[in-house]
Amino acid sequence: MRSIIKKINNYFNADKKVFAKGICKEKLFFIFLFGCVFGCVYEEFLNGYFSHMYNGFWVFETRRGLIYGELSPIYGWGAAIIVYILCRHDRKWYLNLLYGALIGGTYEYFAGFLQEKFTGYISWDYSKEFLNINGRTTIPFMLVWGLLALVMIYVIYPFLSNLIEKIPYNLGNIMFKVLLILVSIDIVLSFGATIRQGLRHEGYQPITPVGAFYDRVYPDDRLAKSYPNAVRK
């Protein structure tokens, strides 16, 4: 029994190799996952807090970005992009604040634009907010992105990087491959379902088995449960 345990331990530790050392695709993927979960929880908490503040009671409403799992890819990609661009070089903190605001605002703007363009739906609308840019982002929110970038660069990333690198080498590679496949399937299904929903509302009938599959498995009432805050433009 001891020899079996020793073999398993040696396999997962792989001669003390460091998993996801530096800023590599494996580490960026786990940063992406962290951002996905954090963004979903953050949005749900914020929604509940404002509901309690204005209405006197807490309302839970999912703010997920994918059909399966409490994941919000817009935050995940944002976190990975900020780490990849801003964590590879040392800069003054105020430059990171500025770059983080520009990256976050640009990213949020084009994410909203692409969602509206390909699905006909919007998940946020800042058209009534101060200093908004076509309703897709605002200057104040860009500053929030900049502050979040500082927190990511100086607090969250060093902690997560150290934690990720402590994962046993072979175990980390297995986790990376399995989670990458599962999340990729979730993304393809989710984006395909929302794109098909937009086409369905424009009167386009499915012309392939894939379109028929989306209409059957992910009708409007099913998607409304996953994306309750999505509004047709």
Q: Where in the chain are the domains?
A: 22-232
How much is the mean pLDDT over the chain?
Answer: 88
Cα–Cα distances in angstroms (integers) from residue 223 to residues 48, 149, 220, in the given order = 21, 31, 5
Whether the predicted pLDDT of 228 surpasses 70: yes
Mean pLDDT of 102-109: 92
pTM: 0.84
Q: How confident is the model at residue 66 (pLDDT cuts 50, 70, 90)?
A: very high
Pick 127 or 25 by higher pLDDT. Answer: 25
Mean pLDDT of 131-151: 92
What are the CB-based long-range contacts (under 8 Å, 24+) for 57-62?
61/228, 61/229, 62/225, 62/226, 62/228
Whether the predicted pLDDT of 170 surpasses 60: yes
pLDDT tens, 171-214?
Answer: 999 999 999 999 999 999 999 999 999 889 888 999 999 999 99
